Structure 1
Amino acid sequence: MRGAVVCAAIGLLLAAGCGGGDEPPAGPGMTIGIRFDQPGLGMRDPGGGFTGFDVDVAEYVAAQLGTDKRDITFVEARPADRETMLEQHKADLIVATYSITEARKQRVDFAGPYFVTGQSLLVRKTNSDIDGPESLNDSDWRLCSVTGSTPAQHVQANYAQSVTLEQRNSYRECVEALLKDEVDAVTSDDVILAGYATEQPDKLKVVGRPFSTERYGIGLRKGDTRRAQVTAALRAMIADGSWDRFVRDNVGRSGYQVQTRPEIVDDP
């Protein structure tokens, strides 16, 4: 009996249960995976802080689950690592422009979608030859995207015969390659590309209309019972106006036009 009491007390202090179960507690601490290199969405500042739409969403949801933003540990979630991070308990949630796909749902659960966007193209400002996805059939263009991302998979599935795809670890690396003329375009979701174009409007531009539909969800470990709470938090975020504010404060600066608020569903 005494051992159980001691264990319970330690559990309260360290926010770790005695049973060592698969699901960590919702508070007071939480580890959330975000992107560190996406302007307006998930960025790590030089001073070590974090800003962006996904960061605001993550902090809002965590608060609804009982975790203050001061008790959140943000970790970098690169596209190729996201499922593994959840499966290996390296993150409680992934809020990192994480598109909901049937293949990913075999390994993780999602709540959402909390944002809907589509794949597009980022080119140098002086480029007039690439003006949308139709241009990809005209020549052997060099495209850059990120390993493990849905845009890279889409290019491989639909344009493998007409373009050369280079996959790098981050979109920042792709943008640097574009500026150095090592590739002809960067392909990702238009809201991501808009952030990079805003950083260097005299050198970069987003072209064409989106040629896919990407539904961003919050990733959780398979079977995590907190999915219903996360879903409720996302609905509250839209209902109380926080979602609109997060979009305006982060994404609106790029001039990106959000068409509609997303509809949060129980099983996205």
Structure 2
Amino acid sequence: MTKNFLKTWGFLLVLVTLIFNACSDKPKLDALDSIKQKGVVRIGVFSDKPPFGFVDSKGAYQGFDVYIAKRMAKDLLGDENKIEFVPVEASARVEFLKANKVDIIMANFTQTNERKEVVDFAKPYMKVALGVVSKNGMIKDIEELKDKTLIVNKGTTADFYFTKNYPNIKLLKFEQNTETFLALLNNRGEALAHDNTLLFAWAKQHPEFKVAITSLGDKDVIAPAIKKGNPKLLEWLNNEVQQLINEGFLKEAYKETLEPVYGSDIKSEEIVFE
């Protein structure tokens, strides 16, 4: 009886192992195929960073990144409404991709060597540099911030840049853009560092502040990002961005969302790839 019992359990163990191996050998579905199967694409965007990604008074997502994301959904799934916008903070963009909470990040994601090690960036669609805004433009040089407080967002290019290059500048960090700019308005720091494209727009609405340092460090680019290991989705995104450039769609997106904010101060070719 004991022998039969052991034989039965041995047989079951082999069977379970075979089933497990069969499941393990099943090829992993590329994110592109998964999106098409589900019929919806989840795109991570900012909810508090006008004019790039924000929620309007009616609860709808708006902004430059959102405008492009809708077109991507239309080209990918045939309908711009087959999209789920997922609000994301700057510091959580990588983790949202790794945890499969989103398929694509379109949240003003600056491409850096460090980030390229953990996510895949597609072809860039936007140009950017760091800028510094202060009251009446009183901070005109980085050296003027020595032993003073600079406000930044956690996990942004500004955060990494100043942490690495200027340890003598005290950084006051926040998760949300609304918190960051409110801190500046409340005089909790002498200046605020962020993407110059965002600062130009914000200073337009707050004329008592000026972006006296308009370009700092390297000129960077902003691109869609996806989780590593999805070559089909990456190839599709590269082709999509190139198509949008070729047909002038990025310039259209600029005119619809950014030009009303920037006015004639900035030309579209300074911001988007054309």
Give the paired residue count: 240
List alignment gaps of at least 5 residues for structure 1: 1-17, 264-268
Partner of 2:187: 181
More helix by share: 2
Partner of 2:213: 208
- Matches for 1:1-268 after TM superposition, within 5 Å: 21=29, 23=31, 24-26=34-36, 28-125=39-136, 127-128=137-138, 130-136=139-145, 139-161=146-168, 163-201=169-207, 203-212=208-217, 213-224=219-230, 225-252=232-259, 253-254=261-262, 255-258=265-268, 259=270, 261-262=272-273
AA at the equivalent of 2:176: S
Q: Deviations over 1:212-241 (max 9, x none)?
A: 322111011102121111111111111111
Identity, in percent, stands at 25
Output the CA distance in 1 between the equivalents of 2:50 and 2:123: 22
Q: Deviations over 1:115-151 (max 9, x none)?
A: 01100011123x53x1243533xx4221111111111
Residue pair 1:65, 1:230 contacting (<8 A) in 2 also: no
Residue pair 2:153, 2:175 contacting (<8 A) in 1 also: yes
Q: How large is the Cα RMSD of the aligned pairs? A: 2.1
Residue pair 1:113, 1:215 contacting (<8 A) in 2 also: yes
AA at the equivalent of 2:184: L
Q: Deviations over 1:48-91 (max 9, x none)?
A: 10111111111122222125221211111211111111111100
Output the CA distance in 2 between the equivalents of 1:260 and 1:184: 27
Bigger radius of gyration: 2
AA at the equivalent of 2:56: D
AA at the equivalent of 2:167: A
Output the CA distance in 1 between the equivalents of 2:221 and 2:191: 23
Residue pair 2:74, 2:82 contacting (<8 A) in 1 also: no
Instruction: With the length of structure 2 as denominator, give the TM-score of the two structures.
Output: 0.81
